[in-house]
């Protein structure tokens, strides 16, 4: 995986982890707090409604309910507004605490019914159940009247339901003005019995029981305290905020993951960068053998490989420079020593300045000048500074000019020099530089070919390319020497003699010129059969 993809994957992992952790925490905390809030709200509602129902059940009136509302509001933290079914305000916790009453919230009010739930024991005789219900109605009327009197007198009232669900009212110090309940003297007993009698005709016990309770509720509606509408909260009430501690903890965890990821990333980047920096510093100080360890296939690893290739190239260039210096010294040392010796001998009168000696010294000086010129051409070519004047060049004319220029040399060596161009082939190139290439190849071929041999110059078009070949029937070159043919100052003659002439730079210059033209030069040779140099260039259409 590339370094860029690893960085993106790590950053994506951190982002996804942070997003997922935040979403999970928010959802979990919100869900938990919503559940807690709902549960707490239900508990508060249940507590408030139960307390108000118990108050109405025990007191038989809503008089004096305000202290209870104030206590409930304080204990639950809720704003409580209590009104009757006919919209008569009984108490508002805002007003009770000195606050300007706020507008109620949008939640529907809770209904509180203080009337008792009639309990009818199951039995086979329905008349007995009707009689018990009549008794319950009488007892409830007495209990409500007595409880309301006690409340208005300021007594502390308590009540508990009896077997039928009717409140049994008691007081710590009942005032004499409040008579104890006497259900037996209820003047409405006959009307109650008449209203309950049709229930005995119901087809099932369930319908019979429901009919008794319905009639009980209807008969007590005018006696019991009115039902309440209890509104909780107020408009614009802010919901409970999320706890900060879990959020801070998750944020710290995500930050820790990000820091660890950054450390891992910086380590993955800085370790090879440090190695590259150290190796580059050593390379700058002349340690050309320095290399960096490379593993993997990402951009950092590719940078390390590029650095190693650069170091190898520098080391190779340094080695070539040293060899070039040694070769130049070797090439110039012997002829310069000869020139010096002869000049000193002439100065000292040891030898006479004969025409033959002067011609030899002049020829040696020309050879040194040629070496210097070739070195200059090679340096310019390798630096890309060699000037080219490109134009449409016909290879047939180029080969014919080369044959004419080397005809005298070929005749003197007893070698047949011929050209063969089946059809015209043209290239876009510098004609003078191509002549320099062909002249070098032809000169080498003539020197390598014995008397009676043949050197052939051939050109053709093949697969959109112009192919130029120089073939001789000389002694050939061993296979192990072919890779060194284009090295500077290299000669197949191990003794490096000058019987065949040449500076040892011609093939290096020729290869560089061909490369500058976007082509290539190749060689094939067989010992005893001859050698063929092939130059391939882009042909003009």
pLDDT tens digits for range 340-390: 888 888 888 888 888 888 887 887 787 777 777 777 776 777 677 678 889
Mean pLDDT of 296-308: 81
Burial class (CB in 10 A: 0-12, 13-18, 19+), 10: middle
Distance CA 323, CA 319 (A): 6
Q: How many CB atoms lie within 10 A of CB 199?
A: 20
Q: For residue 427, give the 3-state DSSP assignment.
A: strand
Among 88-102, 218-232, 455-469, top mean pLDDT goes to: 455-469
Distance CA 33, CA 36 (A): 5
Instruction: Count Cα neighbours of 391 within 13 Å in the Cβ-side half-sphere.
Output: 7
DSSP 428: E
- The C-alpha angle 488, 490, 492, rounded to 5 degrees, equals 155
Q: What is the pLDDT of residue 183?
A: 64
Q: What is the pLDDT of residue 57?
A: 87
Mean pLDDT of 422-434: 92
Q: What is the pLDDT of residue 123?
A: 66
Residues 218, 74 contacting (CB under 8 angstroms): no
Q: Residue 38's pLDDT band (boundaries 50, 70, 90)?
A: low
pLDDT digits (tens, 9 = 90+) for 377-393: 767 776 776 788 899 99
pLDDT digits (tens, 9 = 90+) for 237-253: 655 555 566 666 766 77
Residue 24 has which token pair? 């999970």
pTM for the model = 0.44
Place of tokens 């300021």: 154
Q: Residue 495's pLDDT band (boundaries 50, 70, 90)?
A: very low
Name the phi and psi angles at 520, rounded to 5.
-145, 155
Q: Which of 206, 264, 222 shows the shortest CA–CA distance to 11?
A: 264
Q: What is the pLDDT of residue 499?
A: 45
Burial class (CB in 10 A: 0-12, 13-18, 19+), 474: buried
387-538 CATH fold: Heat Shock Protein 90 (3.30.565)
Q: What is the pLDDT of residue 407?
A: 92
pLDDT digits (tens, 9 = 90+) for 252-270: 777 777 777 767 766 766 7
Q: For residue 405, give the 3-state DSSP assignment.
A: helix
Q: What is the pLDDT of residue 418?
A: 94
Say which range, 61-65, 91-95, 234-238, has the weakest mean pLDDT.
Answer: 234-238
Distance CA 126, CA 197 (A): 10
Say which range, 27-31, 343-347, 397-401, 444-448, has the weakest mean pLDDT.
Answer: 27-31
Q: How high does pLDDT run on average in the chain?
A: 82
Q: What is the pLDDT of residue 484?
A: 80
Name the phi and psi angles at 461, rounded to 5.
-110, 130
Q: Any idea where the domains of the chain sit in the sequence?
A: 39-232, 387-538
Mean pLDDT of 140-155: 85
Residue 56 has which token pair? 């109405």
Q: Does pLDDT of 453 surpass 90?
A: yes
SS3 letters across 126-183 = HHHHHHHHHHHHHHHHHHHHHHHHHHHCCCCEEEEECCCCCEEEEECCCCCCCCCCCH
Q: Does pLDDT of 493 surpass 60?
A: no
Q: What is the pLDDT of residue 241?
A: 52
Say which range, 103-117, 463-477, 496-510, has the weakest mean pLDDT.
Answer: 496-510
Burial class (CB in 10 A: 0-12, 13-18, 19+), 537: buried
Q: What is the pLDDT of residue 360?
A: 77
The better pLDDT of the pair 74, 9 is held by 74
DSSP 539: B
- The C-alpha angle 286, 376, 378, rounded to 5 degrees, equals 75
């Amino acid at each position: 995986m590339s370094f860029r993809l690893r960085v993106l994957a790590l950053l994506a992992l951190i982002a996804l982890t942070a997003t997922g952790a935040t979403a999970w925490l928010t959802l979990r905390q919100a869900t938990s707090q919503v559940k807690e809030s709902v549960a707490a709200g239900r508990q508060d509602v249940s507590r408030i409604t139960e307390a108000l129902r118990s108050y109405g059940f025990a007191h038989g009136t809503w008089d004096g309910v305000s202290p209870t509302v104030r206590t409930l509001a304080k204990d639950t933290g809720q704003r409580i507004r209590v009104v009757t079914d006919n919209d008569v305000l009984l108490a508002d916790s805002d007003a009770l605490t000195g606050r300007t009453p706020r507008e109620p919230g949008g939640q529907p009010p809770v209904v509180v019914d203080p009337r008792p739930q009639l309990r009818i024991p199951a039995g086979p005789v329905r008349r007995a159940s009707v009689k018990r219900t009549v008794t319950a109605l009488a007892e409830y009327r007495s209990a409500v009247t007595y409880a309301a009197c006690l409340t208005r007198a300021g007594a502390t009232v308590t009540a508990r339901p009896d077997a039928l669900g009717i409140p049994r009212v008691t007081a710590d110090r009942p005032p004499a003005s409040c008579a104890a309940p006497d259900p037996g003297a209820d003047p409405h007993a006959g009307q109650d019995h008449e209203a309950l009698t049709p229930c005995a005709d119901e087809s099932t016990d369930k319908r019979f029981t429901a009919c008794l309770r319905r009639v009980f509720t209807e008969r007590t509606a005018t006696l019991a305290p009115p039902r309440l509408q209890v509104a909780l909260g107020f408009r614009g009430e802010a919901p409970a905020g999320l706890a900060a501690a879990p959020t801070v903890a998750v944020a710290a965890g995500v930050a820790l993951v990000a820091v660890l990821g950054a450390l891992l990333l910086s380590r993955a980047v800085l370790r090879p960068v440090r190695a590259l920096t150290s190796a580059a510093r050593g390379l700058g100080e002349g340690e050309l053998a320095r290399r960096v360890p490379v593993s993997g296939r990402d951009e950092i690893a590719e940078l390390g490989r590029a650095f190693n290739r650069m170091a190898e190239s520098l080391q190779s260039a340094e080695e070539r420079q040293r060899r070039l210096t040694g070769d130049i010294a070797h090439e110039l040392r012997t002829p310069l020593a000869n020139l010096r010796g002869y000049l000193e001998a002439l100065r000292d009168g040891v030898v006479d300045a004969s025409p033959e000696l002067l011609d030899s010294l002049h020829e040696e000086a020309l050879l040194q000048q040629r070496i210097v010129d070739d070195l200059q051409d090679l340096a310019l070519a390798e630096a890309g500074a060699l000037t080219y004047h490109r134009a449409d060049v016909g290879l047939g004319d180029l080969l014919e000019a080369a044959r004419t220029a080397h005809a005298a040399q070929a005749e003197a060596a007893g070698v047949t020099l011929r050209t063969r161009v089946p059809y015209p082939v043209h290239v876009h190139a510098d004609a003078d530089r191509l002549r320099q290439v062909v002249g070098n190849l032809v000169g080498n071929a003539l020197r390598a070919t014995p008397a009676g041999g043949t050197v052939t110059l051939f050109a053709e078009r093949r697969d959109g390319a112009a192919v130029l070949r120089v073939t001789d029937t000389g002694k050939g070159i061993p296979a192990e020497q072919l890779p060194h043919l284009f090295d500077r100052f290299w000669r197949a003659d191990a003794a490096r003699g000058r019987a065949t002439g040449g500076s040892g730079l011609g093939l290096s210059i020729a290869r560089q010129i061909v490369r500058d033209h976007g082509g290539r030069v190749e060689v094939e040779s067989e010992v005893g059969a001859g050698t063929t140099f092939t130059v391939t260039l882009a042909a003009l259409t």
